[in-house]
Amino acid sequence: MTLEADTLANTRDQLAQLVQANDRNSIETILENSSTSELARAVAMLDEHERGKLLDLIGAETAADLVEQLPSIQAVQLLEDAQPDQAAAVVNELPSDLQADLLSDLDAEDAEAILSRMQPNEAASARRLRSYDENVAGGLMITELLHYPAEWTVSQVIDDLQLKADEYRDYQIQYTYVCGEDQTLIGVLRLRDLLIGSRTRRLQDIMIPNPLSVPDTLSLEALHGFFQQHHFLGAPVVGASGQLVGVVQRSDVDQAWIEQQDRSFLRRQGIVSGEEIRAMPLLERARGRFMWLSLNIVLNLLAASVISHFESTLAAVIALTAFLPIISDMSGCSGNQAVAVSIRELMLGLAKPSDLLRVWLKEISVGLLNGLAVGAIMGFIAWFWKGNIVLGLVVGVALALNTMVAVSIGGIVPLVLRRLGRDPAVASGPLLTTVTDMCGFFLVLSLATVFIDYLI
């Protein structure tokens, strides 16, 4: 056992023993002194009963700190294993955006049980945030922010900050906002202007008017592009009527973007839920993976049916079997390059689903050049290796044509999927792989069938 594994096992064993002994003080000491990754792994190794009892033993503030350090799926498990009263006390201590995320991930019955036991104002705010999709600005924003009427003076703002210092202490304050009637956002204040300006000046005289803001329905992809273009720590979020409803922070958008890419990667690998961890129930994990495995059976059967149709050609020219996987893989690489560019352009707002023709023309141009280049290289290798120039022509032409097919699919399929409301990062890969395999096998074997007399 390595030193790291030994440390992890000790942390887990210590936690389990202290939970059984109801030793709250020692548990809190371990939580304070353990790294985030070590803590997450140790908690994951506790059984359901131990996890539930852990939250019951430690205070709500400590439990909230623990929940903030854990991956969302693990935090949800902790809340599910706790009693509703204890879970509500923990959720009350969390930032508003995390409250909404965790409550949205809980079963509806569990979420309602917690909401009914939360403080009324906290529950109302959480319900409002839960109404947003988790991957739009409204679902990512925090509602803990500072905003003041335009008529207030600097002195009034400073007095308010001092009077409510305890309440504001946990706020992640980067900006202070100025609102007009009906909470309409009209300006932003820099803290330095508050500190060094005359205390008698009104906020409307020192604010930066008409600040950049984002609508509460803006997608995660568009938010990511916004923060790529503007080097802000955060941006105000406004509703349909321009009223200030929250602030979305760059760090939260970056984190959500990374998590989305992680989920997409997991789904591409067959983890259908995109949220599997090994602490989940066995049957739930197996069912999710089986759905993907069964789909791949169908896709592979389609590709195999093409080969089966040309069995006589393969039997006559056995050398073709060495080139089939090469053509499939090379074309797949070209197609994946096109997929990556299309997804990035969609993310940055540089391409829209209506740009199919423009995107295809751009990709087919690249595909033609690269297809001719890699086709010529592979054709020469086949000729040199097997001593048959016709075999080289068959392999080279098939690879060139399939490269053009692959970049065409890779370029336009993400746009089509986006128009259909599907995740292009997840569905593009299987479609690309299946079509390029089938087309590649068909092109090689059909050309070989035409020129069979020159290959045997």
Could you give the percent of the chain with pLDDT greater than 90? 13
Residue 178 lies in a domain: yes
What global pTM score does this model have? 0.53
For 62-97, the pLDDT digits (tens) are: 778 877 777 777 788 778 877 888 888 888 888 877
Contact assessment for residue 321 and residue 328, using Cβ atoms and an 8 Å cutoff = no
Place of tokens 């922070």: 249
Same domain, 406 and 368: yes
pLDDT band at 215 (very low <50, low <70, confident <90, very high): very high
**Residue span of the structural domain in which 39 resides:** 3-131
Chain mean pLDDT for the chain: 80
Residue 289 lies in a domain: yes
Contact assessment for residue 222 and residue 348, using Cβ atoms and an 8 Å cutoff = no
Please enumerate in sequence order all residues whose Cβ is within 8 A of that of 453, keeping only pairs 6 or more positions apart, or say none: none
Residue of 96, 92, 42, 95 whose CA lies nearest to 70: 42
Same domain, 293 and 441: yes
Kindly report the CATH number assigned to the domain that includes residue 300.
Answer: 1.10.357.20
Burial of residue 97 (number of CB atoms within 10 Å: 0-12, 13-18, 19+): buried
Quickly count: other Cβ atoms within 10 Å of residue 182's Cβ. 9
Residue 141 lies in a domain: no
Residue 64 lies in a domain: yes
**Three-class secondary structure of residue 248 per DSSP:** strand
Give mean pLDDT, residues 194-204.
Answer: 83
Kindly report the CATH number assigned to the domain that includes residue 43.
Answer: 1.25.60.10
Q: How far apart are CA 445 and CA 452, in angstroms?
A: 10
Please indicate whether residue 139 or residue 260 has the higher confidence score (pLDDT). 139
Same domain, 7 and 115: yes
pLDDT of 189 strictly over 70: yes
Per-residue confidence (pLDDT) for residue 8, from 0 to 100: 45
Residue 277 lies in a domain: no
Q: How far apart are CA 433 and CA 291, in angstroms?
A: 18
Q: How far apart are CA 222 and CA 347, in angstroms?
A: 6
Residue 67 lies in a domain: yes
Same domain, 188 and 309: no
Per-residue confidence (pLDDT) for residue 12, from 0 to 100: 67
Same domain, 165 and 126: no
Please enumerate in sequence order all residues whose Cβ is within 8 A of that of 141, keeping only pairs 6 or more positions apart, or say none: 96, 97, 129, 216, 237, 245, 246, 247, 248
For 370-426, the pLDDT digits (tens) are: 999 999 999 999 999 888 999 999 999 999 999 999 999 989 988 888 888 766 766
Same domain, 176 and 300: no
Residue 199 lies in a domain: yes
Same domain, 306 and 410: yes
Give mean pLDDT, residues 136-142.
Answer: 87
Same domain, 308 and 249: no
Residue 428 lies in a domain: yes
Same domain, 119 and 173: no
Same domain, 75 and 171: no
Please enumerate in sequence order all residues whose Cβ is within 8 A of that of 17, keeping only pairs 6 or more positions apart, or say none: none
Kindly report the CATH number assigned to the domain that includes residue 226.
Answer: 3.10.580.10
| 320 DSSP assignment | G
CA distances (Å), 406 to each of 264, 327, 334, 449, in order?
21, 11, 6, 23
Same domain, 305 and 434: yes
Same domain, 26 and 123: yes
Q: How many domains does the chain have?
A: 3
